[in-house]
Amino acid sequence: MAVELWNRVNVPFPSAVSAVRVPFTAQTDVETLLTESENVLKLVRSEILQTEVRLLYELLYVLNNSYRGNKTFKALKQVEQCANRLKNMKLDAALQELSDLCPNRIQRQLSIKDGQCFVPSQPRLEWICLKVLGAARLMSCALSRCTACFRLSKQQMKWEEFVILNVVITSMLSRLWVIFRGVLLALSGLYRQLLELLGDVARAQPMPFLTDFSLPADLAQFLGSSDALLLTKHPAHSRARQEKKQGKSTPKQMCRADRRHEFQKRVREAASFSHMEIRVDEMIRWCKSQRMGKEKRLLTFLRLKCRQMKCLEAAEGSAPKTLRSLASRRRSVHGIICFHSLRRRFMMRGGVKKKEQAGRQRRARLSGDDQRSRTAREATHRSTDSDTHDDIDDIFASAGL
């Protein structure tokens, strides 16, 4: 039975004194213990955690009848059990008693001069260690259940079932996961400081409370190898940031770069806006497969502008028209492909005098209304060309192409 003491909601309280007088020096680190205990109390008593738990209760109350047989609902009930157990084990009350038994700053300064001080006794420290171990195991279980429920809810979103409800559930579970992991990390630091003070007290006033159970050296050993990864502060993310700073490319980035060059080559070969629309449509499908939602939306808008330019080409069928040759230029070190505007509508030949003479003859033949219509059409064409050039450039800059 003593082996499972940590797994009880109400751990039996030791029938012994709560505080003892032990030798106290500047090396006795009580201040760090109080700081770690305060960190745990802040998270457990935080308004954010209480709000998320109340939201969990409200969701379960609303979905109790119509959603009862759903797997996501059952997983939410398991998360609720973890939240209720954390409340019922009264960890915050135990840590508050620990803080009251430890000397404050003024008492510590006087005790250093006196050489002795009252601190929590060995039975009380061992009892608090059991509470911390139970809370750590509970937080590990809560994290795994939040993860399982998140996956079930995400699967329903892929099936387009209860989309809005599952968006609310996944958001809530994400926040709860972050809070529970923060509590677990704070408990790890608190447990280390408890063991250090326990060793000093046990040497000065030995009164063992746990006879059939040995306290683990740290929480990583107690939780096991799989759950011990939760105690690390994202080493994989730190390594990824370092690799990004040093410019190492991942296989996914190399694949995207190859696709970029292929798309760049096809764009150069586009001879009209119809061909350009086909190339953009191919890029939209590729962005969708790569889950690049922002770039896909911007390219969809670009495809709409290409269709508008096709209509403009059809409306000016009587006038000679050609497209400028499509070329590429680099706007940054990563190589941003840019679409180029329309070619000039008319190719002027001959010297300056021939150009001026031809221009006077054409202006003489054109009526005032025709000339105004032609000027407005050319201004619209140039404005559309400039806007298309800038928009395409910005879209592919944001896509990293």
Q: Binning pLDDT at 50, 70 and 90, where does residue 394 land?
A: low
Q: What is the mean pLDDT of residues 72-96?
A: 92
Q: What is the mean pLDDT of residues 88-115?
A: 88
Are the C-beta atoms of residues 312 and 382 closer than 8 Å to each other? no
Convert the pLDDT of each residue in 170-198 to its tens digit.
999 999 999 999 999 999 999 999 999 88
What are the beta bridge partners of residue 172? none
pLDDT at 317: 61
pLDDT at 383: 46
Convert the pLDDT of each residue in 294-308 to its tens digit.
777 777 877 888 788
Convert the pLDDT of each residue in 110-154 to its tens digit.
888 888 888 888 889 988 999 999 999 999 999 999 999 999 999
pLDDT at 8: 75
Best mean pLDDT range from 28-37, 131-140, 267-276, 300-309: 131-140
- Rounded CA separation 340/325 (Å): 8
Q: Binning pLDDT at 50, 70 and 90, where does residue 361 land?
A: low
| CB contact set of 2 (below 8 Å; sequence gap of 6+) | 210, 211, 212, 213
Alpha helices by DSSP H, 102-250:
105-114, 122-158, 163-204, 219-223, 225-228, 235-246
Please state the length of the chain: 401
Convert the pLDDT of each residue in 38-59 to its tens digit.
999 999 999 999 999 999 999 9
Best mean pLDDT range from 98-102, 175-179, 391-395: 175-179
Q: Which residue has the higher pLDDT, 253 or 135?
A: 135
Convert the pLDDT of each residue in 156-168 to its tens digit.
888 888 888 999 9
Q: What percent of the chain has pLDDT over 70?
A: 73
Q: Which residue has the higher pLDDT, 266 or 133?
A: 133
Q: What is the mean pLDDT of residues 10-14?
A: 75
